[in-house]
């Protein structure tokens, strides 16, 4: 499997995602505080959470790897005056982000590039912070990714990774080849490996980074997916008009994901820093 | 609170499993292998387990969760945990 195959899901018609995600089209976990929180509130809270974990004060240079529809790129440019580079292999996302950046008047601070992080040459570009929300799962060379991220971080710069993980090495070995896992990995995404947190920690340490925080976001992701499922149900007809059979496929994917939290899988944020 | 008996647990568990699977309770006998029911996979079994854990406010042992086959097995591990 080559990494060129990894973007099939993300390159679907953007309108599909507009029908079940929040208004920013953030395709990763929100952060919930109270039972009445809406999806949009949870996603905004999560973006502020990421900014705090990275220690953003305003004006930093940030790289978002696997930027999706630009929710984090645009938010950090608008709310924290950051100069943000986004990178993603899914071509359809770039036009969409560029259009929004113009509308929000942050085009001068937003630069979105097509391609794979592993293959991108950053030259002498350096960043104060790097984010990877749900993207490292699609990258086969974990230690290579951490080493490269460290090499382009400025001293004292932070790396925020949030990822869905098998609960431990045993679950990884036991459930990595089940039907549900195959469906999510192969039919939906093309390639993905939900490594246990210990592997992520090890890759961060081996790259020379210091761990500054680990956060369990499993329950937040469960609630996020409940919101997405409700939206898929509400818009199933339109989703199927755009892509026949998509509503059912999405529902199955999201239900598989939500059945696993705590039993086989967890969702963690792992923050590390280029410092001793 | 006195511990629930197996006879008290079985109807509740059957009802929860039927609801999660989208089947009438009459189609579920205690010994039936749940994964052999058409349209039922491990994902649905896990969802039933999660609902049961919430209902009884318990956390079943991992080994029990991944080993259980029937409603009867479920009742046994719930009884053991309560």
Smallest Cα distance from A55 to chain B, Å: 37
In a domain, A75, yes or no: yes
Q: Is residue A1 part of a domain?
A: no
| Tens digit of each residue's pLDDT (9 = 90 or more) over A160-218 | 999 999 999 988 888 877 777 776 676 666 667 899 999 999 999 999 999 999 999 99
> Cβ distance A266 to A218 under 8 Å?
yes
- Where is average pLDDT lowest: A185-189, A236-240, B43-47? A185-189
Q: What is the largest CA-CA distance in chain A?
A: 54
Is there a contact between A72 and A64 (Cβ–Cβ < 8 Å)?
yes
Question: Could you tell me if residue A86 is inside a domain?
Answer: yes
| CATH assignment of the domain containing A210 | 3.40.50.150
Q: Is A102 helix (H, G, I), strand (E, B) or coil?
A: helix
- Sequence-distant (≥ 6) Cβ neighbours of residue A245 within 8 angstroms: none
Residue of A nearest to B50 (CA): A259
Of A179, A180, A263, the CB nearest to B65: A263
Question: Of A164-178, B26-40, B45-59, where does mean pLDDT reach its minimum?
Answer: A164-178
Q: Tell me, yes or no, if B44 comes closer than 8 A to chain A by beta carbon.
A: yes
Whether residue A266 is contained in a domain is answered as yes
For the cut 70, the answer to whether the pLDDT of residue A134 exceeds it is: yes
Domain boundaries, position A251: 7-273
Q: Is A63 inside a domain boundary?
A: yes
Name chain A contacts of B43, Cβ cutoff 8 Å. Answer: 180, 255-256, 259-260
Beta-carbon neighbour count of residue A99 at 10 Å? 12
> Is A56 inside any structural domain?
yes
By percentage, how much of chain B surpasses pLDDT 70? 98
The total number of structural domains in chain A stands at: 1
Q: Which residue has the tokens 């629930």?
A: B4
Does residue A153 form part of some domain? yes
Examine residue A2 and state whether it is found in any structural domain, yes or no.
no
Which residues in chain B have their CB less than 8 angstroms from residue A180's CB? 41-43
Predicted local confidence at residue B52, as pLDDT: 94
CB contacts of A264 in chain B (<8 Å) are 46
Cβ contact, residue pair A180, B50, below 8 Å: no
């Amino acid at each position: 499997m080559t990494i060129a195959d990894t973007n099939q899901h993300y390159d679907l018609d953007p309108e599909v995602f507009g029908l079940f995600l929040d208004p920013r089209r953030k395709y990763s976990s929100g952060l919930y505080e109270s039972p009445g929180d809406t999806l949009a509130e949870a996603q905004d809270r999560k973006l502020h959470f990421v900014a705090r974990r990275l220690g953003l004060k305003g004006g930093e240079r940030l790289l978002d790897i696997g930027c999706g529809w630009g929710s984090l790129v645009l938010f950090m440019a608008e709310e924290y005056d950051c100069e943000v580079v986004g990178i993603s292999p899914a071509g359809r996302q770039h036009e969409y982000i560029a259009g929004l950046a113009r509308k929000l008047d942050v085009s001068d601070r937003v630069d979105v590039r097509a391609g794979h992080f592993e293959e991108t040459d950053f030259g002498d570009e350096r960043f104060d912070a790097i984010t990877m929300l749900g993207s490292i799962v699609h990258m086969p060379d974990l230690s290579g990714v951490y080493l490269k991220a460290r090499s382009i971080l400025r001293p004292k710069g932070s790396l925020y990774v949030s990822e869905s993980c098998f609960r431990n090495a045993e679950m990884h070995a036991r459930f990595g080849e089940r039907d549900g896992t195959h469906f999510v990995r192969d039919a939906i995404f093309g390639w993905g490996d939900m490594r246990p947190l210990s592997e992520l920690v090890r890759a961060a340490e081996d790259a020379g980074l210091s761990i500054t925080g680990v956060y369990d976001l499993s329950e937040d992701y469960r609630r996020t997916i409940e919101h997405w499922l409700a939206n898929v149900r509400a818009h199933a007809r339109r989703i199927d008009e755009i892509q026949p059979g998509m509503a059912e496929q999405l529902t199955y994917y999201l239900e598989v994901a939500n059945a696993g939290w705590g039993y086989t899988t967890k969702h963690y944020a792992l923050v590390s820093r280029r410092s001793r | 609170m006195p511990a629930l008996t197996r006879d008290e647990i079985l109807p509740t568990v059957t009802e929860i499993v039927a609801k999660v699977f989208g089947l009438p309770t009459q189609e579920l006998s205690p010994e039936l292998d749940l994964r052999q029911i058409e349209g039922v996979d491990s994902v649905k079994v896990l969802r039933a387990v999660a609902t049961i854990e919430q209902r009884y406010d318990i956390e079943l042992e991992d080994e029990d969760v991944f080993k259980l086959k029937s409603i009867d097995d479920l009742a046994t591990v719930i009884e053991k945990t309560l």
